[in-house]
Amino acid sequence: MVEVVVFAVAGAACLVGAVGVVLSRNPVHAALMLVMTLFGIAVLFVALQAHFIAAVQVIVYAGAIVVLFLFVIMLLGVDRAAELSLGALPAQRWTAAAFGFGGAAVLVWLVAAVDRIFKGAHSYELERAGIVVTEADAPATSYATDVSAIARSLFSDYVYAFELTSLLLIVAVIGTVILARRSYGADGRRAGQHGGESAPAESGATPQEARQ
Amino acid sequence: MTGDPLFADGVDWGDIGIMGIKVLVAFAALLVATMFMIWFERKLISDMQHRIGPNVAGPWGLLQAFADGVKFFFKEDLRPANADPLVFRLAPYISAVTAFVAFAIVPIGGVFTDTPGRSGTVTLFGKETILQVADPPVGILLLLAMSSVAVYGVMLAGWSSGSKYPLIGSVRASAQAISYEAALGMSVVAVVITAGTLSTHEIVRAQAGGVNEWLLITTGFVPFLVFLISATAELNRPPFDLVEAEQELVGGFHTEYSSIRFALFFLAEFMNVITMSAIMVTLFFGGTAGPVFFGLTWLWPTVWFLAKVLAFLFVFVWFRATLPRLRYDQLMSLGWKVLIPVMLFWLMFLGLRQLVVDQGWSTLQEVVVVLGLSAAGLALGWSLLAAALRAAKRNTDTEGLGDHDPEDLMPAGASPDAAGPGEDG
Size of interface A-B (CB pairs under 8 A): 120
Which residue, B22, B24, B1, is CA-closest to B129? B22
Give A208's contacts in chain B (Cβ within 8 Å): 162-164, 167
Residue B191 has pLDDT above 50, yes or no: yes
* Structure confidence at residue A127 (pLDDT): 61
Q: Rounded CA gap, A75 and A71, in Å?
A: 6
CB B135 within 8 A of CB B201: yes
**CB contact (8 A) between residue A74 and residue B171:** yes
* Structure confidence at residue A33 (pLDDT): 92
Residue A165 has pLDDT above 90, yes or no: yes
Residue B312 has pLDDT above 50, yes or no: yes
* Structure confidence at residue A35 (pLDDT): 92
Q: Rounded CA gap, B99 and B152, in Å?
A: 12
Residue A172 has pLDDT above 90, yes or no: yes
Domain ranges within chain A, ordered by starting residue: 1-82, 89-138, 141-183
Which residue, B204, B24, B178, B182, is CA-closest to B104? B24
Task: Specify the higher pLDDT residue, A26 or B245.
Answer: A26
A13 Cβ under 8 Å from any chain B Cβ = no
Q: What is the pLDDT of residues B328-341, one digit of tens each?
A: 888 888 888 889 98
**CB contact (8 A) between residue B148 and residue A59:** yes
CB A52 within 8 A of CB A42: no
* Structure confidence at residue A141 (pLDDT): 45
CA distances from A50 to B52, B55, B147, B202, B260 (A): 54, 52, 21, 20, 38
**CB contact (8 A) between residue B408 and residue A146:** no
CB B173 within 8 A of CB B252: yes
Residue among A70, A190, A201 whose CB faces B155 most closely: A70
**CB contact (8 A) between residue A29 and residue B175:** no
Most A CBs within 10 A among B16, B88, B98, B138, hence the mutation to make, goes to B138
* Structure confidence at residue A68 (pLDDT): 86
| Strand runs labelled E in A22-104 | none
Second CATH level (architecture) for the domain A1-82: Up-down Bundle (1.20)
* Structure confidence at residue A212 (pLDDT): 36
Which residue, A69, A54, A56, A14, is CA-closest to A36? A14
Phi-psi bin for B360: left (phi > 0), alpha (psi -120 to 50), beta?
left
Residue A150 has pLDDT above 90, yes or no: no
CB A17 within 8 A of CB A36: yes
**CB contact (8 A) between residue B148 and residue A67:** yes
- Lowest-confidence segment of A54-68, B110-124, B311-325 by average pLDDT: B110-124
Give A71's contacts in chain B (Cβ within 8 Å): 171, 174
Q: What is the pLDDT of residues B115-141, one digit of tens each?
A: 666 677 777 777 777 778 888 888 888
Most A CBs within 10 A among B19, B140, B141, hence the mutation to make, goes to B141
ipTM score assigned to the predicted complex: 0.79
CA distances from B268 to A128, B108, B236 (A): 59, 20, 12
* Structure confidence at residue A86 (pLDDT): 56
Q: Rounded CA gap, A112 and B195, in Å?
A: 45
- Lowest-confidence segment of A33-37, B99-103, B206-210 by average pLDDT: B206-210
Which residue, B204, B146, B138, B8, is CA-closest to A148? B138
**CB contact (8 A) between residue B82 and residue A212:** yes
